Amino acid sequence: MTEDIPLSWLFYALAALLACSGFFSGSETCLMAVNRYRLKHLVREGSQGAKLATQLLDRTDELLSFILAGNTVINAVATILVAEIARRLLGTGEYVLAVATAAASFFILIFAEILPKVIGATYSEPIALRASFILAPLIRVFRPAMAVVNVLVKALLRLMRIKPTTEQAQALSMAELRTLVLEGGKYIPKKHQSIFLNLFELEDMTVDDTMTPRSQIEYIDISDGIDEIRDALSTSHHTRIVLCEGGLDNVIGVLHVRKVINATRREQIDVEVIREIMRQPYFVPQGTALLTQLTNFQENQRHMALVVDEYGEILGLVTMKDILEEIVGEFTSQAIGSAALFHREPDGTVIADGGCSLRVLNRKAGFDFPLEGPKTINGLLLEELEDIPEAGTTIAIGDQAVEILQVQNRMVKVVRILPHARTPEESKEAA
């Protein structure tokens, strides 16, 4: 009966079968490769194709069963057609069967597998959205027939004690989100990307990383004379000042400079007036996560907190501005209160205060000091040397050579940091 069918029709039928097989192969690849989060976004924007694709991916077992069944049937029919075409062109014989098998494998491999799958992987989103309009109704039509196959497959999986999982977009870890932000550089403005990356770092940071150390805290001792207090207020670079009585070991409050100015309009400022307008100090324990502290600032409607250790000793001071700067960057080129922490020399070396934060040196001066242990350059040097060093001592920490310039009260007060510690080989090359 096939003798009545023209040879040209067999070629057309073969081309149509290869096209159908290629469609199934490409659809499978593009649906498996499509970005699920992008698909969810398109669904929210009302894309009907994205909605159909999502419905298909919600039942991946049914989708794959239908595609594989369709591909298998089509490829089998295509093989038969190739055999018939070979018989008509070459006659009968053992070599004809080998030629037909090789030809069928070649055409199916190239036009029904490799080419469609490469195209599907390259243009996964547009093809997936369009293919869904064809696959969705086909699956509904053939669902009764495929039900038998699906039941048999599920029974076999149950016997093998394999529990299939629904293919869904999985939750991403913070490290994976960070990678997504880094890889999406061309879609995210550089400033926004920097903010995202800072937010990821913020999760591992505590108030110890960003606080102003105790030695750098500006405060007013209320036991000083009123003239000294007025001078301190008039020359202060901050809007909120720590109030103590007899030193930082006895903090009694926090004073807002604007309230002092308002009070001077009504009456002469004195110690009693200052005590009335000051606000109770706000203390937080060391090790408090920055994100937690940011929430605490919002809930308590505070802008500044004093960081204390387990014995109640004041270690430093952290503000809302400090935390926000960790996210969006410095509001100014260098804060007035920290201007003396470090400066760069014309030869590229950096002169830094021993109490300068390692994180500040890494971020602003471009170094790469470890952040897991001590928070300041003084603490890092004491940990590395395991002793109180003498002035003139030089130590290499990673790629940085650090020279100790001044030691005072069992602390490293001033250091010089070289950008790069040369190895002997590099020194020979430079010479």
Mean pLDDT for 117-129 is: 90
Partners of 406 in the beta sheet?
Answer: 414
Tell the residue number behind the tokens 């057309």, with chain if given. 12
Ranges in the chain annotated CATH 3.10.580.10: 207-328
Tokens of 409: 């009260």
What percent of the chain shows pLDDT beyond 90?
Answer: 10
Alpha-carbon distances of 285 from 295, 303, 376, rounded to whole Å: 15, 16, 18
* Banded pLDDT at 334 (limits 50, 70, 90): very low
The residue count for the chain: 431
Q: What is the CA radius of gyration of the chain?
A: 36
Q: Which residues contact 93 (CB under 8 A, 6 or more apart)?
A: none
Confidence of residue 346 (pLDDT cuts 50, 70, 90): confident
Per the prediction, the chain carries an average pLDDT of 82
| Dist. CA 223–CA 244, nearest whole Å | 8
For residues 86 and 100, the answer to whether their CB atoms sit within 8 Å is yes
Per-residue confidence (pLDDT) for residue 331, from 0 to 100: 62
**CA 170/CA 37 separation, integer angstroms:** 10
In 160-224, where does DSSP find H-type helix? 174-183, 190-202, 207-210
Report CA torsion sign: 157, 163, 169, 174: negative
| Residue 176 to residue 185: CA distance in whole angstroms | 15
Q: Whole-model pTM? A: 0.58
Output the CA angle 406-237-258, nearest 5 degrees: 150
For the segment 137-195, what is each residue's pLDDT rounded down to a tens digit?
998 988 888 888 778 878 888 888 877 655 444 566 667 677 777 776 666 777 777 77
Torsional sign, CA 245, 249, 254, 255: positive
Rounded Cα–Cα distance for residues 141 and 62 (Å): 13
| CB burial string 113-150: b at 16+ within 10 A, e below | beebbebbeeebbebbbbbbeebbeebeeeeeebeeeb
pLDDT confidence of residue 1: 47
Statement: residue 422 has pLDDT above 50? no
What CATH architecture is 207-328?
Roll (3.10)
Single out the residue of 271, 214, 221, 262 nearest to residue 241, CA to CA: 221
pLDDT value of residue 2: 55
The residue to which tokens 């990356």 are assigned:
197
Query: Are 423 and 415 within 8 A, CB to CB?
Result: no
Query: pLDDT of 206-256, one tens digit each?
Result: 888 888 888 788 888 888 888 888 888 888 878 888 999 888 889 998 988
Q: Which of 386, 421, 387, 425 is nearest to 403 (CA)?
A: 421
Q: Boundaries of CATH 3.30.465.10 in the chain?
A: 340-430
pLDDT at 57: 87
User: Confidence band (pLDDT; 50, 70, 90) for 132?
Assistant: very high
Element (H or E) spanning 307, and its range? strand 304-308
The amino acid sitting at 326 is: E
Angle (CA) 280 327 333, round 5°: 90
Per-residue model confidence as pLDDT tens digits over 278-326: 899 999 999 899 889 999 999 988 989 999 988 889 988 999 988 888 8
Give the CATH class of 340-430: alpha beta
Distant-in-sequence, close-in-space partners of 24: CB < 8 Å, separation ≥ 6: 67, 70, 71, 74
CB 272 within 8 Å of CB 253 = no
CA distance 208 to 289: 9
Cα–Cα distance between 314 and 311 in angstroms, integer? 9
What does the DSSP assignment read for 82-106? HHHHHHHHH-SSHHHHHHHHHHHHH
> Tell me, what's the pLDDT at 284?
93
- What is the spatial distance between Cα 374 and Cα 413, in angstroms, rounded to a whole number? 16
Q: Which residue has the higher pLDDT, 51 or 161?
A: 51
Helix spans in 91-189 (H): 94-107, 115-122, 124-159, 174-183
* Pairing of the two strands 219-221 and 240-244: parallel
Say whether 245 sits in a helix, a strand or coil: coil
Look at residues 20, 22, 28 and name the one whose alpha carbon lies nearest to residue 56.
28
Could you read off the pLDDT of 398-416 as tens digits, one per residue?
778 899 998 888 888 899 9
